[in-house]
Amino acid sequence: MRFGFVGLGQMGAPMACNLARTNTVKAFDTRREALDVAVAAGAAEAASENDFADVDVLILCLPNGKVVENMLLEPETGIASTLTSGTTVIDTSTIEYERTLRISQALQVRGIRFLDAPVSGMRKRAEDGKLTMMIGGEAGLVETLRPALSAMANNILHTGAIGSGQLTKLVNQLLFDINAAALAEIMPMACKLGLDPATTASVINSGTGRSYASEYFLPQILEGVFDTGYPLKAAYKDLVSGAEISVRHGIPAPVLAAATGTYQQALLEGHGALDKGAMVKVFERLLEVSCRKEAKR
């Protein structure tokens, strides 16, 4: 089976490298340095984003839904116009549910099969091939591709029809986002009241208040490190998707709305290039405290 892979970013590069070690892969990215990494792992270099007419499966790992849709369906220049009928497109990007359905329908008209397969896990897990992949689409197709996909993800879940992969990923992301926003609000409050940040973090991460967000971000906050995770400005698209679904389906989401306000404030204060732990800076500024390990309060 011949694979194409487009998008060699923070997650896509290690995914493509792992796939190329055991499969025939042709890769493309606009950045030369990213492409060189994939080639070093065994991938062939695509001449352009439209050099995939000979692949059986095309995998995308791109920044957002607009990029995915344009890359595939742009009139005359979209990749889909060069793919043969029967090819499978797998989108591992995190994009909007409604856009996923639209892309699937447009590909179906061309005889191209589609799976939405967003992944969960940070770069280290991508490098180790230990991602969770949530796949929406035809169950039989998922099973056919499972051996190859296992090179990138050790937890592959068929979640239902097209779009269910994105919805499942969104549910997970929104809970993570809410937990991160809660940490940003409550830790500075603890510091304002005179509690030691390191001791408080230790109690949280060994008690009932812990979460994956606290286990990951609290050690980073204590050290003042805010550049190891996914940037806030990129993560914000999940909150937008959550809000759209809430409005479209009339589902109250007050906690999500409150967390979204914290993200928005952090972005307005210029922290968009930093990871979600940087939201703590908003409340540190408001309360005039620091949650660092050696901070003087």
Catalytic residues, by residue number, are: 169
**Strand pairing partners for 44?**
26
Burial of 150 (0-12, 13-18, 19+ CB in 10 A): middle
Is 36 in contact with 16 (CB distance < 8 Å)?
no
Residues 6+ apart with CB under 8 A from 237: 64, 65, 94, 96
d(CA 295, CA 194): 11
| Strand 113-116 relative to strand 88-91, pairing | parallel
d(CA 92, CA 165): 9
The residue to which tokens 């990951």 are assigned: 216
Instruction: Calculate the alpha carbon distances from 269 to 33, 252, 272, 274, 285 in Å.
Output: 32, 28, 8, 11, 10
Burial of 178 (0-12, 13-18, 19+ CB in 10 A): buried
